Structure 1
């Protein structure tokens, strides 16, 4: 095994929010879809690496995984001629040992693989790696041909205790975990338990001829809260489908974290580090990123009242200053920045989250996003979802029922509000 280079040494002690599964195992994803060959690319277009899927890590949220095979299915927003994965131990508190890793195409049954399609994922030519606390590991490229919109299944074996697990809690996909010997090449994992969290897997990239990535940075609305499990119906998923239908070589990487804020970490494990503190990790590090869509600040407005965090109350000027910092950092790295307005939240069921003062801040921030010229483009998500008769409320047809998060139709309507011209290659 080889050792990965640490990237981050941030550690956080947090409450355990995921169930203990058989004393230490979590479960893993695997909803499979049939695969299609990638289209032939023009040979004069250079080969590039492009991020095509992501799940931003939050703080440690549960007990250790011990001697387990973890299997997760991801839907690629762009295809290519090779696949690599990014494993994250950035929020971990102990070294993460990976003994074996594989990528395959889905099998006929949920959570299964087609063994004939299996390829080993290596690290510098070796089958395993030790990822220190605070570190990441990127696999070598496996020669797997993929197409936009297809699923691949990633399995890896963790031979010993990981320490408290840092996950992406709102995975909205079934992750499978099988306790016991390495089963990463098995068609179906034996005695697997399941969770909807993403475990350690934080990114997938493809090698292809041409293409670029768009990163969607946001909170639970970007993370897809209240959209169906195993359905890939978050608004970034729906945007990806629009790009695929339009024949554009543009991927969409979801960097939403439920509960996330721009300026403050939330003292809940699942909400993760603030957008300002994770921007380099979740946006700038994505291979091939050319554009970022920023849709954050509603939790900066609502959480101080809802979570008893009066000392973290922010003014309109604070909110704008935080967003300006994100724009500046993106521009310094040559990225195009699209601002998305904040959606209505009057009447939300979460006590203390909404207030007239908070609504005034939302309106002021939205006015700045629309007219302040800080962004290279604007997507008016507020206009897409609001009730014309009651503009501070979400239109009932798009409301999940909590008056804060959209339903699947609302997420689709948000994706439809994004002008694809904003995402054309610069």
Structure 2
């Protein structure tokens, strides 16, 4: 069971847009998680921060002259007091490019209190950015934050310094590093564009991609689109479609409503989720995978149908991705095959991207091609993620 607010309360809080979305389009976003020790990498999230500046870099997928950032306290146990914040273009390491540092305000104030379970957006700030630019966001917490809402598998280096360094463009004070994002949930551009969301588990999140290289499949898709449409990565490693996890995110059926449909101006979503439902349902449960519920192909298909209904109710186009080869045998492989056959042939998704065939070994289609295998026979390497992105028909978006 999740440790904090009910799923219904989270839906209400997280789908409430922090400011008018009419003139904003998301150009970077991540799915936030409850802090837990039992996830992919060690993190600062459980202890949180006190008198710390946290500097984190993200690569945006659209351009414009006016931006804002979004922050989430969805899993905070108390209201979050942010003392100050800034944004700029990322330099080397923790440095900020000269002349690009901009202080951030919230309702014209340098500080803001974010309610327990809530979120906020900064005031607009003038900073010209291009698709593919890396931005640095620095957050300063003078007091004690408590456990921090975060995204575990950032595959990007974040930095920490003692004291207020929001207006310090240098890297020298930032001696500590981590591989997660904290509180930062979105970066928006002031325009009327249409974003593409990618939604799912570790294959979307980018497990086994290269640290700080931005070579997950959504990154490669964003490069193909070259700023014509922003691409948002809303994957959570280990996430399941049908069951919640205390540390790997609420079930996809629930979080789809805030992680995808709550984003500013998402018009298309690519769904790739279900492999963990099959895999973890066959294994002994852990604190992160309780309940370990066995699922059938029909269970997963019913889940996809709910996602389709939810997307269409909001006027969002939904594309189904086939499940990747997973080195399964017997019963779990039969479930995966049945699910993929339905995705390809049912006609219920608006379009299909055949990720399985993009990365499968031609000599053994139930296994990932050796050239695309990260080594665990499940997750692609960067070449495999590029092949996934290349399989997306850009016209289908």
Alignment coverage as a number of residue pairs:
367
SS at match of 1:312: coil
Match in the other structure for 1:278 = 255
Report the aligned-residue RMSD. 1.7
Q: Is structure 2 residue 381 aligned with structure 1 residue 407?
A: yes
Q: Aligned match of 1:266 in 245, 260, 282?
A: 245
Q: Aligned match of 1:76 in 60, 66, 76?
A: 60
> How far apart, in 1, do the equivalents of 2:194 and 2:68 lie?
16
Between stretches 305-314 and 224-233, larger displacement belongs to 305-314
Is the 1:92–1:164 contact (alpha carbons within 8 Å) kept by the matching residues of 2?
yes
Q: Deviations over 1:110-161 (max 9, x none)?
A: 1101342111111111111111110001111111111111111111111111
Q: 2:78 aligns with which of 59, 83, 94?
A: 94
DSSP 3-state at the match of 1:404: coil
Matched with 1:177 is: 160
Q: Tell me by how many angstroms 1:207 deviates.
A: 1.0
**What is the alpha-carbon distance in structure 2 between the residues aligned to residue 300 and residue 57 of structure 1?**
20
The 10-residue stretch of structure 1 (308-317 or 256-265) with the greater mean CA deviation from structure 2 = 308-317
Match of 2:222 in 1: 240
The one of 256, 259, 271 aligned to 1:294: 271
Check conservation: 1:8, 1:134, Cα contact below 8 A: no
Q: CA deviation at 1:257?
A: 0.2
In structure 1, runs of 5+ residues without a counterpart are 1-6, 12-46, 347-353
3-state SS, counterpart of residue 149 of structure 2: strand
In the TM superposition, residue 10 of structure 1 has moved relative to its aligned partner by 5.1
How big is the shift at 1:305?
Answer: 2.2
Counting only pairs closer than 5 Å after superposition, residues 42-61 of structure 1 correspond to structure 2 as 48-61=23-36
Distance 1:106 1:315 in 2: 46
* Contact 1:80–1:145, Cα closer than 8 Å, also in 2: yes
CA deviation map 1:243-268 (0-9, x unaligned): 00xxx62000000000001111124x
Instruction: Provide the TM-score with structure 1 as the length reference.
Output: 0.83
User: For the structure 1 residues 111 and 310, does the alpha-carbon distance in structure 2 shift closer, same or farther, using more than 3 Å as the test?
Assistant: closer
CA contact (8 A) 1:54 1:253 kept: yes
- Normalising by structure 2, we get a TM-score of 0.89
Q: Distance in 2 between matches of 1:306 and 1:113?
A: 46
1:192: Cα distance to partner?
2.6
Q: Which of structure 1's runs of 4+ aligned residues deviate more than 6 A?
A: none
Whole-angstrom CA distance in 2 between matches of 1:386 and 1:148: 31
Helix, strand or coil for the counterpart of 1:236? helix
Unaligned runs of 5+ in 2: 1-6, 12-21, 37-45
Report how far residue 391 of structure 1 moved.
1.0
Choose which of 132, 145, 148 in structure 2 pairs with 1:162.
145
Q: Contact 1:338–1:376 at 8 Å: present in 2 too?
A: yes
Does 2:305 align with 1:324?
A: yes
Taking a change above 3 Å as real, the CA distance of residues 386 and 119 of structure 1, as seen in their structure-2 partners, is same
Structure 2 SS opposite 1:104: strand
1:83-134, CA deviations, whole angstroms, 9 ceiling, x for partnerless residues?
1111011111121111111111123x31101342111111111111111110
Q: How far 1:8 moved relative to its partner? A: 7.5
1:223 corresponds to: 205
Partner of 2:41: none
Structure 1, residues 257-312: CA drift from partner, whole Å, max 9, x if none? 00001111124x2x111111111211011111100100000000001223436751
Deviation at 1:191, TM superposition (A): 4.5
1:355, CA displacement in angstroms?
4.1
- CA–CA separation in structure 2 for the residues paired with 1:409 and 1:205: 29
CA distance in 2, matches of 1:98, 1:8: 26
- SS of the equivalent of 1:324 reads helix
1:188 to 154, 170, 188: 170
C-alpha distance in structure 2 between counterparts of 1:191 and 1:215, whole Å: 32
Task: Tell me by how many angstroms 1:64 deviates.
Answer: 2.1
Kindly tell me: are residues 94 and 177 of structure 1, through their superposed partners in 2, closer, same or farther at Cα, counting changes over 3 Å?
Answer: same
CA change 1:87–1:307 in 2 (3 A) is farther
Question: In structure 2, do the counterparts of structure 1 residues 165 and 84 end up closer, same or farther at CA, with 3 Å as the change threshold?
Answer: same
2:64 alignment partner, SS class: coil
State yes or no: 1:336 paired with 2:307: no
Q: Deviations over 1:335-390 (max 9, x none)?
A: 000000000011xxxxxxx4421111111010110111111100000010111111
Structure 2: distance between partners of 1:405 and 1:412: 13
d(CA) in 2 for partners of 1:145, 1:199: 24
Q: Distance in 1 between matches of 2:269 and 2:117?
A: 25
Given the superposition, is the C-alpha separation of residues 229 and 390 from structure 1 closer, same or farther in structure 2, using an over 3 Å criterion? same
Q: Give the conservation status (yes or no) of the 8 Å contact 1:8–1:90.
A: no
